[in-house]
Amino acid sequence: MSIKQISVFLENKPGQLKKMTGVLAEHQIDMRALSLAETKDFGIARLVVDDAYEAVNVLKDANFVANLTKVLAVAVPDEPGGLDTLLSLFAEAGVNIEYMYAFIGGKDVKHAYMIFRVADTKAAEIRLASKGLKILTQDDIAQI
């Protein structure tokens, strides 16, 4: 039930992010979510795309250092307190969040989507499902 996130290591200098997005655009890969973290010398772009396997392959072919990571994707009601309610379920299930980021879009304007990186994805899926939470699949992401 988890999805694949692509982590791409980028040298921290002008134009590097553009080179990466250019490769994705050239191959008609649609980004759903993007998070960028940086240090002095390099950055890490974290992406959720419609076709993770194709994206990581074309990025590697273009000499980017890229890898796939399992993450959880969850629809959140786009209303005040929506994220707070969702985080309550994580806390009740004893799931620690390493990092998270959000995106909106698609046909369902009543929801935003959260991407969560947790230490043990499979265990988190089981615990969160027991709380009634639906974890999105890669197919769900491709259709958003």
Q: Which domains does the chain possess?
A: 3-69 (3.30.2130.10), 71-143 (3.30.2130.10)
Structure tokens at 45: 């772009």
pTM equals 0.88
DSSP conformational letter for 137: P
20 sits in which H/E element: helix 16-26
Encode pLDDT of 22-77 as tens digits. Answer: 999 999 999 999 999 987 788 999 999 999 999 999 999 999 999 999 999 998 88
> What is the Cα–Cα distance from 51 to 130, expressed in whole angstroms?
29
Contacts 24+ apart (CB under 8 A), 41-45: 41/11, 41/12, 42/9, 42/10, 42/11, 42/12, 43/9, 43/10, 43/11, 43/12, 43/16, 43/17, 44/7, 44/8, 44/9, 44/10, 45/7, 45/8, 45/10, 45/17, 45/20
> What is the Cα–Cα distance from 25 to 41, expressed in whole angstroms?
25
Encode pLDDT of 93-137 as tens digits. Answer: 899 999 999 988 766 667 889 999 999 999 998 988 888 888 999
Please give the span between the terminal C-alpha atoms of the chain, in angstroms, as a whole number: 16
> What is the Cα–Cα distance from 83 to 4, expressed in whole angstroms?
22
